[in-house]
Amino acid sequence: MKNLIIALLCFPLVAFSQEAPEANLFEVVNLYPKQGQNQALEEAIKAHNEKYHPEGDHHASLSYNINGPNGGSYSWIMGPTSWTAMDSRPAKEGHDADWAKVEEMTRWVESPNYWSYSSKLSHDNGVEASPSKRLIWVYDLKRGQARRWAELVGKIKKVYEEKRPTESMWVYWNEFATGSEGNDAAFVFAFDSWSWMDRDSNFGKEYEEVFGENTWDYFLKEYRATIDSRVDFIRERVE
């Protein structure tokens, strides 16, 4: 599928997002619980994951979207996996019937989204047990600006490597074009304590320490020229 998309060149952003065969794939499904069913839904999904998605290519987790456009929903996330592994994902032996019981507790289940982790653009501090909270920035990139955006993100990664070696900054590409919805690429920042949100970031100062005096304002101008909009929200793991 990747080679076909690239060959056709019908979706330039998608083609660009397939930057490496080792990119990790994540399937994300948002579920909106019926009123009063939050706890029951959490318990049902946890039981489902323990039985059908405990480890390996089909490992799944559950997180709660605290705010933003999907605020109040849960995100069921399977991965890291691959398209090849999708051929052997659980379906029989009661899996689909069990998932149907999960969906009975929801008022709406969104169509899955597929995101690939960019090892090229991300900075990972190598700590296996990652924090439970996520600050997520989802970008709508301007047409034809994906490559330039990625080049600029590479500079952000360099600042993390030199100034924030113990922090993680993960970058993901949407595997499919979404038209007017945006959702082309995303930053994910992990943190444990809410006090992290009160910190004085000083990223601009650190950027200039790496790239030179008076470079931060120029970077922001270039970066803003590559995007149409950004949506922020916080997600917290519940299992």
Same domain as 205, residue 183: yes
In a domain, 155, yes or no: yes
Contact (Cβ atoms closer than 8 angstroms) between residue 188 and residue 236 = no
Same domain as 222, residue 140: yes
CB atoms within 10 A of CB 203: 14
**Does residue 130 register a pLDDT over 50?**
yes
Find the domain containing 57 and state its range.
24-116
Q: Select from 189, 168, 66 the least CA-distant residue to 125.
A: 168
In a domain, 200, yes or no: yes
Number of structural domains, the chain?
Answer: 2
The rounded distance, in Å, linking the Cα atoms of 194 and 67 is: 14
In a domain, 19, yes or no: no
- Whichever domain contains 109, its CATH number is 3.30.70.100
Same domain as 188, residue 91: no
Same domain as 99, residue 48: yes
**Does residue 4 register a pLDDT over 50?**
no
Same domain as 204, residue 102: no
Indicate the average pLDDT of the chain. 89
Same domain as 141, residue 101: no
- Of 116, 149, 172, the last residue of a domain is 116
Write down the pTM of the prediction: 0.88
Mean pLDDT calculated for residue range 27-37: 97
Angle ∠(120,66,90) on CA atoms, nearest 5: 65
Token code pair at residue 186: 């995303």
- Of 86, 116, 146, the last residue of a domain is 116
- Output the CA torsion 15→17→20→25 (10° steps): -120
Same domain as 176, residue 206: yes
Residue 165 pLDDT grade (very low, low, confident, very high; cuts 50, 70, 90):
very high
Same domain as 103, residue 122: no
In a domain, 201, yes or no: yes
CB atoms within 10 A of CB 25: 20
In a domain, 16, yes or no: no
Residue 127 pLDDT grade (very low, low, confident, very high; cuts 50, 70, 90):
low
In the 8-state DSSP scheme, what is residue 123?
B
The rounded distance, in Å, linking the Cα atoms of 98 and 51 is: 10
The rounded distance, in Å, linking the Cα atoms of 38 and 41 is: 5
Same domain as 230, residue 139: yes
Residue for token pair 């890291």: 80
- Of 54, 89, 116, the last residue of a domain is 116
Same domain as 96, residue 128: no
Mean pLDDT calculated for residue range 132-152: 96
In a domain, 7, yes or no: no
Residue for token pair 């929200």: 233
Q: At what angle do helices 203-211 and 146-163 cross, to 10 degrees?
A: 90
Q: Which of 89-98, 100-109, 171-180 has the highest mean pLDDT?
A: 100-109
Mean pLDDT calculated for residue range 109-126: 93
Q: Select from 195, 196, 175 the least CA-distant residue to 186.
A: 175
Contact (Cβ atoms closer than 8 angstroms) between residue 135 and residue 191 = yes
Same domain as 30, residue 85: yes
pLDDT in tens, 46-79: 999 999 999 999 999 999 999 999 999 999 999 9
The rounded distance, in Å, linking the Cα atoms of 192 and 212 is: 32
Contact (Cβ atoms closer than 8 angstroms) between residue 222 and residue 166 = no
Same domain as 191, residue 157: yes
In a domain, 28, yes or no: yes
pLDDT of 2: 40
In the 8-state DSSP scheme, what is residue 58?
G
Quick check: helix, strand or coil at residue 182?
coil
